[in-house]
């Protein structure tokens, strides 16, 4: 959520930057500003009446104590008016607040200055490409066929148990998953992240705090009986640990990492590109979350990007880094890097990580603050990134490392898998 004080004082900048993300809704911004003004003037009215009412009540108390009942009764008789007036005003105020809130949550975050303009994923800026795309033999198989060939991932079995998009990993497939999770967690720990295990069902307040609610409600699985949501990413529970917290500057940077399964309904995203592991309803991911001083957040974003790349390098996967354009960037993010890994058999790039700086967009909802140098409360900056999402990594590992003899396990994983070939 954007800060109203900023919108109020920087209307033109807000409009200009929203345009960078193709959010060309001048009317909405002006509506927010108008509602804010109306809200505040109504509030002033309401408060001045409340002040009179409070003073009268106080006076009655004093008179009663002095035993001057008659005078007290006289004031009491008049006090009823305040109540009636206040009731009317406060009802109006409540409506205005609802309306204001409903509008302001529709505004996405303002893109950072480095975010390129653009409409679609095609306009994303390629920051760098790393590694050679291997030339696979003509008979190279896509990962879903390799999965079947070596009997390590069973999509049909998952359909029986749950439905499409819930694969069953078997034998070395399951072991490979576990190896990757442990590898990612160990790497994160080495880089100063504290490992946490968090709930994978979250309440509505948490969903709101990180920006999934109210707008992306349909993306999450909802457990109605208990009014909880299955997490679409560990970002939600991990970041929400700091909801309402007042932090100390010395605490920064706060670095947490968590492995969790992630659940996404992916309603309406069926098509040619969702085969195999490309898009699932349930998948595993190791997530990084940092809460930092506002002055440091872009430095930290670069650091996180570099760290994620180091994982891909260790796995020897060819990848590229994109700086998402305004049109492709997420609702809550100010700037995002996507890391994509080359799928040799599918001849396409697969997104395996997304690293974002949310600046104060989340912390304003979360009320995650700290006392600054000047002693004033400030909103912290939040960042997060996948490090990494497993399925597409598995897909690329299988595809890139296929040989006649089987699939060679990347060297760094061998200590974790306990085997170096899947055959």
Choose which of 10, 24, 66, 83 interacts with RNA (CB under 7 A): 83
* 45 contributes a contact to RNA by CB under 7 A: no
The minimum distance between CB 226 and RNA, in angstroms, equals 7
In 288-379, alpha helices (H): 297-314, 361-366
CA distance 63 to 73: 9
Near RNA by CB under 7 A, which window of 42-50, 125-133, 259-267, 380-388? 42-50
Pairing of strands 125-130, 319-323: antiparallel
* 92 contributes a contact to RNA by CB under 7 A: no
Q: Give the x-and-dash track for 5-24 against RNA (CB under 7 A).
A: x-------------------
The angle subtended at Cα 242 by Cα 192 and Cα 390, nearest 5°, is 55
* 88 contributes a contact to RNA by CB under 7 A: no
* 294 contributes a contact to RNA by CB under 7 A: no
The minimum distance between CB 90 and RNA, in angstroms, equals 8
* 95 contributes a contact to RNA by CB under 7 A: no
CA distance 218 to 237: 18
* # chain residues binding RNA, by CB under 7 A: 31
The minimum distance between CB 377 and RNA, in angstroms, equals 3
* 369 contributes a contact to RNA by CB under 7 A: yes
Nearer to RNA, 228 or 398 (CB): 228
CA distance 313 to 315: 5
Q: 206 with 242: CB under 8 angstroms?
A: no
The minimum distance between CB 248 and RNA, in angstroms, equals 9
What beta strand segments (E) does 221-345 contain? 222-223, 228-230, 246-247, 254-263, 282-292, 319-323, 335-343
The minimum distance between CB 39 and RNA, in angstroms, equals 9
The minimum distance between CB 252 and RNA, in angstroms, equals 16
Q: Tell me how long the chain is.
A: 423
Near RNA by CB under 7 A, which window of 48-56, 187-195, 267-275, 285-293? 48-56
Where do we find the tokens 């170096």? 420
The minimum distance between CB 169 and RNA, in angstroms, equals 21
Nearer to RNA, 93 or 289 (CB): 93
CA distance 306 to 190: 14
Query: Burial letters for 237-269: b for 16+ Cβ neighbours within 10 Å, e otherwise?
Result: bbbbbbbebebeeeebbbbbbbbbebbbbbeee
* 57 contributes a contact to RNA by CB under 7 A: yes
Near RNA by CB under 7 A, which window of 77-85, 144-152, 297-305, 347-355? 77-85
Specify the 3-state DSSP secondary structure of 1: coil
CA distance 261 to 297: 27
Q: 341 with 352: CB under 8 angstroms?
A: yes
* Closest by CA position to 349, among listed 310, 298, 400, 308: 400
* 64 contributes a contact to RNA by CB under 7 A: yes
* 69 contributes a contact to RNA by CB under 7 A: no
Residues 381-410 that bind RNA (CB under 7 A): none
The angle subtended at Cα 225 by Cα 223 and Cα 227, nearest 5°, is 60
Q: 382 with 239: CB under 8 angstroms?
A: yes
The minimum distance between CB 89 and RNA, in angstroms, equals 11
The minimum distance between CB 276 and RNA, in angstroms, equals 32
Q: What is the contact surface with RNA in residues (CB under 7 A)? A: 5, 40, 43-44, 46-48, 50-51, 53-58, 60-61, 64-65, 76, 79-80, 82-83, 94, 226-227, 246, 369, 371, 377
């Amino acid at each position: 959520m954007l800060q109203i004080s900023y919108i109020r004082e920087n209307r033109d900048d807000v409009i200009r930057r929203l345009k960078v993300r193709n959010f060309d809704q001048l009317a909405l911004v002006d509506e927010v500003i108008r509602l804010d003004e109306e809200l505040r003037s109504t509030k002033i009215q309401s408060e001045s009446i409340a002040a009179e009412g409070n003073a009268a009540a106080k006076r009655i108390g004093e008179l009663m104590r002095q035993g001057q009942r008659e005078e007290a009764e006289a004031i009491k008789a008049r006090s009823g008016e305040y109540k009636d007036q206040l009731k009317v005003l406060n009802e109006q105020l409540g409506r205005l607040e609802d309306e204001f809130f409903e509008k302001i949550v529709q505004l996405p975050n303002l893109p950072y200055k480095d975010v390129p303009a653009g409409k679609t994923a095609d306009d994303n800026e390629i920051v760098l490409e790393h590694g050679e795309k291997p030339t696979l033999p003509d008979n190279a198989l896509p990962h879903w066929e390799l999965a079947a060939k070596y009997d390590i991932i069973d999509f049909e079995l998952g359909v029986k148990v749950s439905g499409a998009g819930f694969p069953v990993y078997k034998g070395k497939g399951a072991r490979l998953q576990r190896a990757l999770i442990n590898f990612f967690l160990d790497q994160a720990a080495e880089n100063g992240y504290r490992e946490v295990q968090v709930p994978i069902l979250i309440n509505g307040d948490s969903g709101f705090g990180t920006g999934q609610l109210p707008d992306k409600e349909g993306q999450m699985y909802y457990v109605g009986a208990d009014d909880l949501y299955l997490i679409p990413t560990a970002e939600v529970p991990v970041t929400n640990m700091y909801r309402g917290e007042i932090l100390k500057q010395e605490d920064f940077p706060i670095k947490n990492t968590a492995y969790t399964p992630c659940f996404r309904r992916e309603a309406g995203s069926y098509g040619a590109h969702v085969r195999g592991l490309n898009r699932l309803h349930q998948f595993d991911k190791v997530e990084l979350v940092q809460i930092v001083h506002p002055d440091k957040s872009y430095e930290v974003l670069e650091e996180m990007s570099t760290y994620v790349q180091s994982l891909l390098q260790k796995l020897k996967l060819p990848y590229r880094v994109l700086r998402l354009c305004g049109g492709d960037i997420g609702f809550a993010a100010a700037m995002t890097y996507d890391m994509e890994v080359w799928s040799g058999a599918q001849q396409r790039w697969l997104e395996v990580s997304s690293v974002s700086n949310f600046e104060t967009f989340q912390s304003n909802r979360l009320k995650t603050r700290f006392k600054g140098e000047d002693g004033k409360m400030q909103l912290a900056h939040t960042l997060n990134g996948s490090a990494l999402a497993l399925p597409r990594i598995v897909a690329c590992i299988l595809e890139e490392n296929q040989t006649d003899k089987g699939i060679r396990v990347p060297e760094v994983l061998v200590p974790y898998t306990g085997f170096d070939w899947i055959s």
